[in-house]
Amino acid sequence: MVLKKIAENIWELEKEGKMNVPGVIFASDLLMESIKKDGKTLEQVKNVAQLPGIVDKSIAMSDAHQGYGFSIGGVAAFDLEKGVISPGGVGFDINCGVRLLSSNLKKEEFFQKRKEILNQLFRDIPSGVGKESEFSLDNKEIDRVLNEGVKWAVEKEYATSEDINHIEDNGCIIGADASKVSQKAKSRGRSQLGSLGSGNHFLEIQEIETIYDEKIAGIFGIMEKGQIVVMIHSGSRGLGHQIASDYIMKMENEYGFKNLPDRQLAFAPINSSLGKDYQAAMASAANFAFVNRQLITYQVRKVFQKFFSKSDLKIVYDIAHNIAKFEEHKVNGNKMTLCVHRKGATRSFGPGRKEIPIAYREFGCPIFIPGSMGTFSYVLVGTKKAEEISFGSTAHGAGRILSRSYAIKNFKIEEVEKELALYGVMLKTGSRKGALEEAPKAYKDVNEVARVSHELGIGQLVARLRPIAVVKG
């Protein structure tokens, strides 16, 4: 592979061999060093460039690291006629995403009851592998969740109409079809709505530490330093995982994988019957994930109301970072409808796009780049530049530099807790293993990741958030 730096924060993998397009990596010199050490990420960028119908370039974001098939931080767009859709380009946790809630509380108020609130949140919101919630649904109701998304939650009074207006796709992706989801997947998800899950999923209470753009911040409901906000990071739980597993097997059986550079890139043509079935199942899982984060929001609101009667938690935005979307983009000056895979990457649309909720359409799409527990998270806004160079995409988080197995073997829980205490962060977790896996040292520098997005113009900095209390699985 020939890797060369073609501009500040932009690297190119030259088109060679069976590659249909070049690879492009958006990274600083420092972040590129960690990407190279990974040993697999660049190879995955190259492999994706070999898929049929890929358009313009195979992309990796600054937080990129090895994933299943696609790198995590991978972006690729496909022509609708010749292109393919691949579960490896979406991920097992379909619509893993981030939701941010703004509050009318100040840091000083929250700190008076921090421990009590954290304990209550931990009790009320299940976290960890396989943990179930109080929202167990029958067959009819689970199908409604998959087909209707957050509209179902509004009807059940778990959400408001205002909530819907601040969620990507208004909390319901068109084309979802519960009949394309296996009973096994439904069974796995049935009792997991309203739960965080494990791994890097979290519920985090944060304070506004820095505001870079007061105008945009104000539009987002971020009003002043010291304001309390709540960040939720979760996805489609076991249901999404099972859908991915089901369709990977179906695609391998129908289309094979022997001619692929990596078996994990199993795909179906976009316009094939199987491709359309996967799209419908993926949309169903995405709707499930929107509802999952909505039910977590419902529980968070109840807890805050218990301790602060004046509490008012509003959704800033909810955005996916594991999804394939049909979007219009310009390629070589021509408008094209493309199937854009974002796997560990966030949509970054600039002002005017119809996909952006009306409240933000004039200004751009809200973006969240969370750090690891104990480190900063960032709010950004989408840009026209991102639409020009990255299919309207930017980074989704810090990105791992150390494997989970390495972290478990080499870190001690006492050291992690001490480090978090130094940061002023209170942690509540039911899993020692989970805390070790997600230790701050296992991740890239989120400040650098956010800086690269801002400097490249594929996301504009709005605010920086500091964690003060974390619930993890």
Catalytic residues: 396
DSSP string, 23-73: EEEE--HHHHHHHHHHSSHHHHHHHHTTSTTB-S-EEEEEEEE--SSSPEE
Q: Tell me the two tokens of residue 237.
A: 């739980």
Calculate the CA dihedral of residues 246, 248, 249, 250 and round it to 10 degrees: 80
338: helix, strand or coil: strand
Q: Which residues contact 58 (CB under 8 A, 6 or more apart)?
A: 13, 19, 21, 22, 23, 24, 45, 46, 48, 49, 74, 76
Phi, psi of 186 (to 5 degrees): -60, -40
256: helix, strand or coil: coil
109 alpha-carbon distance from chain centroid = 30
| CA–CA–CA angle 425, 427, 429 (5° rounding) | 165
Q: Please count the other Cβ atoms lying within 10 Å of the Cβ belonging to residue 2.
A: 9
Q: Please count the other Cβ atoms lying within 10 Å of the Cβ belonging to residue 102.
A: 19
Beta carbons of 14 and 4 less than 8 angstroms apart: yes
Whole-angstrom distance, CA of residue 23 vs CA of residue 4: 10
Q: Please report how many Cα atoms fall inside a 13 Å half-sphere around the Cα of residue 227, on the Cβ side.
A: 22
Pairing assessment for the beta strands 227-234 and 97-106 based on DSSP bridges: antiparallel
Phi, psi of 195 (to 5 degrees): -125, 150
Whole-angstrom distance, CA of residue 186 vs CA of residue 192: 10
Q: Which residues contact 169 (CB under 8 A, 6 or more apart)?
A: 149, 286, 290, 355
Which is nearest to 142 in space by CA: 232, 237, 231?
A: 237
Kind plus residue range of the DSSP H or E element containing 426: strand 426-429
Length of the chain: 473
